[in-house]
Structure formats: C-alpha cells, structure tokens
Amino acid sequence: MTNKDIHFSKLLMDVYASPTATLKYPNISNWDFSPFGLTEQDLIHSVYLVFDQVLKLPELYHISITQAQLYDFIIDLASVYHNQNPYHNFAHAVDVLQCLFYMLCELGVLPFTNKFLQKSKPQSLLRPKDVFALLIAAIGHDAAHPGINSSNPLATLYNDKSVLESLHAMTLFQLLNKHGIDRLVGDSKSEAYKVVSSILATDMSLHNDYVSKIKEQANRFNNTNSHLDEQDERNLLCSALIKCADISNVARPFHWGTKWAELLVQEFISQGDLEKQMGLPVLPMNDRTKVVLEDSQINFIKFVALDLFQNVANVLNEIEFAADQMKKNLRRWESRKKNIEYEQEEFDIVSNSSTTHMIMVETGIKRSSSSLDLQHHDVKRRPSIEKYPVNNTDDRDAPVYCQCSIQ
Ligand SMILES: [Zn+2]
C-alpha cells in the first residue's frame, strides 16, 4: 500500500465510519470560515463537502462520479500545491473555494433547490454546470505554481509569462482527465471547459479594465432596454465571482484578514530576500525594510479590492455584506496605523531624551537599540514584520516562490 492509499483509506474511514464526521466541519457555511488549524485531511474533506453539494444536482446526474473518485482527485490536487509557501498553498485554494461557495449560497444559486431565485436576477444566468466549472476553477486556480510574482525582477530571469499563466490550467486539466472528471467539464469545445480556462487565464494585472467591464455590466442589467448576450454576461459573472473570492481575505472578519495579510507579506519578503541575495532590484512590497503591513492593507483595500467588490455588488447585490466588512476592516487598519504613529512619536520622545543609540533604516520601520526595553517596545509595534524569518535559499524547506497576480 502506498502512502497515498493509506491516506485515502484514512479519509474514507473518517467519512464513512464516523457518524459524526460531518459535524467536524460546520463552518464551510460560515463567512467566519478559515482553514487555519485544519489538517490537510480536514481541508480535503471540506473540499469534498462543497463539491458533494453540487454533484448531487439532478442536472449533473448524467455524469456518475463516485465519492472515491472525487476524493482521489482532491487528494491529488492538494499534493500539487506547494504547501511550503506561506500564502499561496492548498489552504488558500480551499479558502477561495469556500468563499465562492458561501457567495453562491448568499446569491441563492446554491442550493439549486432554492425556489426564491428570481429569474430576473443576474445570477439566474448561472447554471449547475457553470457552478461546477467555477468551483473547479477556484480549487485549481493556483495549482502547482512554482514561480515568482511575474511583476518582480526575479521572474524575468527565467520565467516565460505565457508558460506560467497556463501552468495552473494545464495541471488542473491533467488531473481532471486522470480522474475521469473531465467528462463533467467537457472537451475543449464545451462551454464549461471554456469557463474554466477563461477564469484561469484572466490576467489580474488588467484589474482596472476588468472593473470597468463590471461597471458596464451593472449598467446593462439596470437598463431594461439593454441587449444582453447571455453567454458573455455569464462569463463575466463567473470571472467576477472568482476574482472576488481570490482576494476575499480583506473582506473576511478582521481576525482572519490580519492572519492572511501577515502570511502574504511573509511570502513577499521571502522573495525580496532572495532577490537581494541575487543582487536584483527589490520592489518595496517585497523589501522587509520597507514594507508596512498596515499600509499594504490600507492601499490594497482602497485602490484595488473595495472598487472591485462594490462594483460587483452593484450587479450582484447580495454580496454587499462583503464590501461592508471590508470597509470595517479598512477602519481597523487605519486606526492601527494611527496608534503605531502615536506610539512612534512617544517612542521618539523617549529615545531622544535617553542615551539609547538607534539606527533608522530607510523608512524607519526597523530599528535596533541597545535598550532591551526599547527593543521590546519596537517588536510590539511591528510584530508581523520583525518575526519573519530571513530566508535561507540553501534550506530545502525554504518557501517556494509563488507567482501571484494582485495578491
Ligand atoms: Zn489565489
């Protein structure tokens, strides 16, 4: 028996042998969900529970897929994620999938037995096969990404952007084929296949163009005289939902948003450390001496995420709750920043009046001090920056540097 077989048997035992097994995962239906603290087995089971809801749909009955087949696919998919990455790992994929699942439930699209979904609503364009394609895209959207953020200097050393962009899709479709699940998605000419590929191929660097398209879509839905091309509108809705899900950390309850933000910065500065070692220029967002957690979150929400969510909520009103939570989170980050600035002023007054020797590094984020008390004070002010380990590229367990789009 291989390790994988043993792993699979344990999973089956967990699911079938324990009558209370499903009670372990009540929070996949909760916006307060987080994958933190879940084992890989728990994560795999959470994914199974989401897909199980969709595969029970009468519209997809013609495709028979066994529970074992589905599990085997999820286990394989989990194994191609680079879990050494602080951020872009299988837990992130599960988080994106759960977010999408939650939003689809809020929209009344799931469960499909929902009799209250009005035909006039934009989300009524989403059919079971589109939802299946969306969920597949969500769980596979960062599969096997080995690389570097393509906007960073290190990427230009050896990355061919077009190859990297198709890597997630290639890996995902190979696994779908291997496990006989590609029949659900169809061949390369099918609509569902096109939905999955177009979602995976969407270039997030074109964020502003993308937000403009969603604004236009809101106008079309609000103007009864507009001509709607159903397939185009459907594709845009699918992309909108998955893009929101991909950056939904900033719309989660603040305690989870903070944790995700720290992990993301950790991944970025690991990349920056490597770029420095190689003598390459380093973007401020990847530079441990320049990055400020609060600023990165405030700017990301203000200039990227809020605009996207608010415009999507103009089309799909039910996701307004996420934009509201994001605004609350923004206020929390802003108040944290003010407190830090206040503490910094206090700190400067104390340090100027003492004999302490201080070294300000460029933006003043990092300091060293001969005073243990002041060092402690400093660590308290910047816990999420100070605790990041300096990356050692000779270390086999070093993070795999992951390409990311916006986040
Ligand atoms: Zn992602």
pLDDT digits (tens, 9 = 90+) for 174-190: 888 888 887 666 666 66
- Looking at per-residue confidence, does 301 or 64 come out higher? 301
User: Taking residues 206-226, what's their average pLDDT?
Assistant: 86
Select, from the ranges 17-26, 334-343, 350-359, 363-372, the one with the highest average predicted confidence (pLDDT): 334-343
pLDDT computed for residue 21 by the predictor: 41
pLDDT computed for residue 132 by the predictor: 86
192 within 8 A of 186, measured Cβ to Cβ: yes
pLDDT tens readout for residues 111-120: 766 656 677 7
Taking the C-alpha atoms of residue 111 and residue 225, their distance in angstroms, rounded to an integer, is 31
- Asked if the model's pLDDT at residue 6 lies above 80, the reply is no
Q: Is 143 annotated as a binding residue?
A: no
Stretch among 102-106, 192-196, 304-308, 365-369 having the lowest mean pLDDT: 365-369
Our answer to whether residue 7 is catalytic in this structure is no
pLDDT computed for residue 204 by the predictor: 57
Give residue 175 CA to ligand 1 midpoint distance, Å.
18
Name the band, by pLDDT with cuts 50, 70 and 90, for residue 403.
very low
pLDDT computed for residue 310 by the predictor: 97
pLDDT computed for residue 20 by the predictor: 41
Taking the C-alpha atoms of residue 386 and residue 265, their distance in angstroms, rounded to an integer, is 11
Three-state secondary-structure class, residue 117: coil
Give residue 364 CA to ligand 1 midpoint distance, Å.
31
Give residue 208 CA to ligand 1 midpoint distance, Å.
18
Q: Which residues pair with 231 in a beta bridge?
A: none
pLDDT computed for residue 256 by the predictor: 96
- Identity (one letter) of the amino acid at 12? L
Q: Is 52 annotated as a binding residue?
A: no
pLDDT computed for residue 253 by the predictor: 97
pLDDT computed for residue 11 by the predictor: 53
User: Taking residues 283-308, what's their average pLDDT?
Assistant: 92
Q: Is 160 annotated as a binding residue?
A: no
Give residue 348 CA to ligand 1 midpoint distance, Å.
40
Stretch among 46-60, 149-163, 196-210, 268-282 having the lowest mean pLDDT: 149-163
- Asked if the model's pLDDT at residue 191 lies above 90, the reply is no
The catalytic residue among 88, 145, 179, 207 is: 88
pLDDT computed for residue 84 by the predictor: 86
Contacts of 296 by beta carbon, 8 Å cutoff, 6+ apart: 261, 265, 285
Three-state secondary-structure class, residue 266: helix
Contacts of 328 by beta carbon, 8 Å cutoff, 6+ apart: 254
pLDDT computed for residue 36 by the predictor: 93
Name the band, by pLDDT with cuts 50, 70 and 90, for residue 195.
low
Q: Is 219 annotated as a binding residue?
A: no
CA distances from 66 to 1, 13, 108, 180, 374 (A): 21, 16, 27, 10, 60
Stretch among 74-78, 97-101, 208-212 having the lowest mean pLDDT: 208-212
110 within 8 A of 104, measured Cβ to Cβ: yes
Give residue 214 CA to ligand 1 midpoint distance, Å.
20
Q: Is 82 annotated as a binding residue?
A: no
pLDDT computed for residue 399 by the predictor: 29
pLDDT tens readout for residues 159-176: 445 555 567 778 888 888
Name the band, by pLDDT with cuts 50, 70 and 90, for residue 295.
very high
pLDDT tens readout for residues 218-236: 999 888 777 888 888 998 8
Give residue 54 CA to ligand 1 midpoint distance, Å.
22
Give residue 356 CA to ligand 1 midpoint distance, Å.
44
The percentage of the chain sitting over the pLDDT mark of 70, rounded to a whole number, equals 65
Q: Which residues pair with 368 in a beta bridge?
A: 359
192's tokens: 């569902």
* CATH class, 3-386 region: mainly alpha
Taking the C-alpha atoms of residue 290 and residue 8, their distance in angstroms, rounded to an integer, is 45
Q: Is 255 annotated as a binding residue?
A: no
- C-alpha R_g of the chain: 23
- Asked if the model's pLDDT at residue 211 lies above 50, the reply is yes
pLDDT computed for residue 78 by the predictor: 95
Domain boundaries of the chain, sorted by first residue: 3-386
- Looking at per-residue confidence, does 392 or 360 come out higher? 392
Give residue 167 CA to ligand 1 midpoint distance, Å.
13
Stretch among 330-339, 380-389, 396-405 having the lowest mean pLDDT: 396-405
CA distances from 202 to 130, 197, 239, 241, 405 (A): 17, 9, 8, 13, 10
Give residue 247 CA to ligand 1 midpoint distance, Å.
7
- Report DSSP state, residue 399: P
Q: Is 45 annotated as a binding residue?
A: no
The percentage of the chain sitting over the pLDDT mark of 90, rounded to a whole number, equals 33
267 within 8 A of 399, measured Cβ to Cβ: yes
